[in-house]
Every structure is written in C-alpha cells, then in structure tokens.
C-alpha cells in the first residue's frame, strides 16, 4: 500500500499542459473527461494510509451523450482495512433538444462495510434542463428503476435470505456553476425510493492550479433508511484530490 501511495504521489506531480477547466463540449470532441487521485500516508505513533481514485468520461455519438464514471476508495489504519469501496455508474442520454432527453442508467457498487456484497441499480426515464444560464445550469431526472442488493455471508446467515430486491422511483437533481474561468461548483442529489429510501449527495468545488491540473474538494453523503444490523444510516466521505481534465 505504501509503495502504491508513493507511485501515486509521483504521478500527481507530473507537469501537465492543458486547461483544467476544459470540459466536454457538444460538437467539439467525441470524447472528454477527467481523472482524479488523492492519497494520504502517516507513520510513527499512527500508521494510516488511504487512496481515492476516479475516472469520468463523456462521449458524444450523434444525439446520444454517454457518461462513464469509475471510482474507488481504500483506507487502512494500523494494518486493518477501514474502508473499501469501488464501483461504476454508466448513463446514456438521448437528447431531443438542448432542454429535454431520455436517459438509461446503470450502477454497480461494492462497499464491504455496509453488510452487502454489492448493490446494483437500473433505471430509465426523462430528463429536463430546468434552468440554463450563462455560467450555470440545473437538470432534473426522474423515472422507474430496479435495485438489487446482495447480502454478505454474515448478514445472509442472520437474515435467512441472500438478496433484497425492489422496484424504485428514481430521481436526480444536478446543478453546476462556473464560479470563474478557473473554478467550478457542482451539486448532485440522487434518490431511489422503493421498499426503503436510498439517497446520496455529492458537493464539490474545483479550482485550477496550473495547466490541466486542478485541486478538488468534495463531500459525499450516503443515506440508507433501513440499514442492516449494527450499521449506521448515514455515511460521509470528504476528499481532497488532484484532478486532470482532458
């Protein structure tokens, strides 16, 4: 783990030469995205380490706008794993015009500290741009979905079953604001309501450092209305990462 963190630090120190605020622009490129990486290491009286990585891609194919999101988090404290979460979120948007679109979304998440082996969600529906300003926009999405959660061995033995499945109402709200030419604010809220409410919120601020390199601070809150035995309803995750846009 320490060797991995050292390599990560070297990679983050590599000079880059594009503009960090450059995002995917419709009609400008068929593919764009960003990669972010953060790592911490403490030794001595406290021996801890963690690494956070994320890759986000956007692709344009005619009226289709596809989004690919891959992320992972790993932490250790004095030799014991304290966080291990990774997953992917894929979405395709078919645009009728600049304001309205249909979407198809699929996500797969592994989080070994929730009592579930994995959580998979599929949803589809309608999206609409409620507001479009010169430097900001606000989108909402809603539609039906289906969620399945596979319990780990311990929870499966306690509950007497292996999976929890539910039809859900899926909703998303997204807001982005270009504070300046070199800084951006993003807020996204996702909710899936069926047999129980599962929700998440991600708030982030990105500020350009130099070239394609930017600093990103984010706070992620995840909520499970009915957590498994001895688990908490709310998890929070705060990250400071370096981000490279391409």
Domain 2-245 has CATH 2.40.160.40: yes
Task: Report which secondary-structure segment, H or E, holds 45.
Answer: none
Distance CA 1, CA 8 (A): 11
Tens digits of residue pLDDT in 184-204 = 999 999 999 999 999 999 999
Q: pLDDT band for position 29 (50/70/90)?
A: low
Q: In 3-state terms, what secondary structure has residue 215?
A: strand
According to the model, what pLDDT value does residue 39 have?
85
Q: pLDDT band for position 128 (50/70/90)?
A: very high
Helices (H), the chain: 2-12, 153-159
* Averaged pLDDT, 83-90: 94
* Residue tagged 């999405």 (tokens): 141
Average pLDDT, the chain: 87
Query: What is the residue extent of each domain of the chain?
Result: 2-245
Distance CA 228, CA 17 (A): 47
Tens digits of residue pLDDT in 129-151 = 999 999 999 999 999 999 999 99
Contact 40, 49 (CB under 8 A): yes
Separation in Å, CA 102 to CA 23, 37, 79, 141, 147: 22, 32, 47, 9, 20
* Residue tagged 């790592």 (tokens): 39
CB-facing half-sphere around the CA of 134: CA atoms within 13 A:
3
């Amino acid at each position: 783990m320490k060797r991995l963190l050292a390599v990560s630090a070297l990679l983050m120190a590599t000079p880059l030469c594009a503009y960090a605020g450059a995002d995917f622009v419709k009609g400008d490129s068929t593919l764009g995205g960003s990669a972010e990486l953060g790592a911490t290491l403490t030794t001595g009286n406290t021996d801890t380490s963690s690494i956070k990585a994320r890759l986000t891609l956007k692709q344009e194919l005619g009226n289709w706008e596809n989004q690919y999101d891959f992320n992972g988090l790993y932490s250790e404290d004095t030799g014991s794993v304290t966080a291990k979460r990774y997953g992917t979120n894929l979405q395709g948007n078919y645009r009728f015009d600049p304001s309205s679109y249909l979407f198809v979304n699929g996500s797969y998440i592994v989080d070994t500290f929730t009592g579930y082996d994995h959580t998979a969600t599929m949803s589809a529906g309608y999206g609409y741009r409620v507001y479009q300003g010169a430097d900001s926009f606000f989108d909402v999405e809603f539609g039906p979905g289906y969620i399945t959660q596979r319990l780990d061995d311990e929870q499966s033995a306690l509950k007497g079953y292996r999976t929890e499945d539910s039809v859900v109402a899926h909703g998303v709200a997204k807001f982005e604001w270009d504070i300046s030419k070199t800084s951006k604010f993003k807020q996204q809220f996702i909710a899936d309501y069926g047999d129980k409410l599962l929700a998440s919120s991600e708030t982030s601020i990105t500020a350009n450092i130099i070239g394609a390199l930017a600093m990103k601070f984010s706070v992620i809150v995840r909520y499970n209305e009915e957590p498994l035995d001895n688990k908490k309803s709310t998890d929070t995750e705060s990250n400071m990462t370096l981000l490279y846009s391409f």
